[in-house]
Structure 1
Amino acid sequence: MLKKVKHHSLKKHTDKNLMHRDISERNAPLKYLGFLVDETYFDNFELFYEFGKELGLQRKDIKLFTFIETRRRIPTLRQNQITNKEFTWRGEIHNQNAHEFLDYPFDVLIGFYNGKHEFLSAMAAQSKAKFKIGFNGADERLFDLLLTVDLQKPETFKSEVKKYLTILKKI
């Protein structure tokens, strides 16, 4: 029961954040790049930093935030990670690092997850990013560009994103 209430609240927060989204800076050139990643699909994070370098960015200009269903018992030093337990039943986020990530004014934010994902979609909606890219069946209201790419094939992902960023004159 509580899980249903949490998902309903997340949907309400997402809808509210979409209504207040500022799209005036959508065409800004790429200087800062952010990734929202579902760890169940992908855990080779160095690939994202290499991709940023290919786009002409320095490592400090690339930020990564991941979602994992439940935190592992193994101690980790990773701070840019959130679990479903850090979302309240009202859909609010209780993670200071997540708030800092979402308030960062990325020029491009890439939601690296398949389909509709309530938790990551709520984060994407709350993000202050100027331009957002999503994949395969994600909520089209959240993203400015949706790509149909197999996320398990990183080279295809990189070439498609690079192609569209070039077309849109972001790089």
Structure 2
Amino acid sequence: MFEKLKHRSLRKKIEHSLKKRDISEINSEMKTLGFLVDEAVFQDFEKLYECADYYNLQPKDVKVFSFLEVKRKVPSLRHNQLHNKDFNWKGELHNQNAKEFINKRFDVLVGFYTTKNNFLDAMIADSNANFKVGISGADPRLFDLLIDIDIHDLDGFKLELKKYLTVLKKIK
């Protein structure tokens, strides 16, 4: 019962966040890049950090945050990880690292997941990112750009994203 309440609260939160979104900085040049990843689908985060060189960014300017539905029994050293239990039944987030990630003003935030996921959708909707990029299959209301590519084809994704960001004058 609490899970249903949690998901309903998250959907309401998403709707509210979509209405209050500030798009005044949507055309700013890319200096910071964030990835919000569904860890059940993609686990090779080092390849995402390598995007810094590809987009001419400093390594410190690329951040990756992951979501895992159920916390593993094995201890993890990842502190940039979010779980189902980090949200209460009202849909409120209780993970300080996740709150900092959401509040960071990324120039480009990539939602690196393809299925409907209320937890990741709520984080994307609540994010202060200027420009949001998603992969086809995700909720189109949340993103400014959707790229239709297989999530496991990271090289293809990086190439497509670079092409669009160049056209939009976010990178040179």
Place the TM-score, normalised by the shorter chain, in its bin. Answer: over 0.9
Shift of 1:156: 1.1
In 1: Cα distance, 2:81 partner to 2:99 partner: 11
Cα RMSD for the two superposed structures: 0.8
TM-score with structure 2 setting the length: 0.97
Distance in 1 separating the partners of 2:52 and 2:42: 17
Q: Is 1:69 aligned to residue 75 of structure 2?
A: no
Give the superposition deviation at 1:137. 1.9
Aligned to 1:102: 102
Aligned-partner Cα distance in 2 for 1:135–1:90: 28
Q: Deviations over 1:8-37 (max 9, x none)?
A: 100000110111100000000000000000
* Alignment-derived partner of residue 80 in structure 1: 80
Say if 2:92 is the partner of 1:92: yes
Q: Which residue of 2 aligns with 1:157?
A: 157
Equivalents in 2 of 1:112, 1:137: separation in Å? 11
Determine the structure 2 residue equivalent to 1:130: 130
Checking the alignment, whether the CA contact within 8 Å between 1:10 and 1:90 is kept in structure 2 is: yes
SS of residue in 1 equivalent to 2:50: helix
Partner-residue secondary structure (3-state), 1:5:
helix
Gaps of 5+ in 1: none
Q: Report the residue type matching 2:92 in the other structure.
A: E
Runs of 4+ in structure 1 over 2 Å off: none
Secondary structure in 1 matching 2:52: helix
Q: Does 1:147 align with 2:131?
A: no
Q: Report the identity percentage.
A: 55
Residue pairs, 1:19-58, within 5 angstroms: 19-58=19-58
Matched pairs, number: 171
**Match status 1:119 vs 2:102:** no
Per the TM alignment, residue 155 of structure 1 is displaced from its structure 2 partner at its CA by 1.3
Name structure 2 gaps, 5 residues minimum.
none
2:166 partner SS: helix
- Rounded Cα–Cα distance in structure 1 between residues aligned with 2:137 and 2:70: 24
Query: Is the partner of 1:159 in helix, strand or coil?
Result: helix
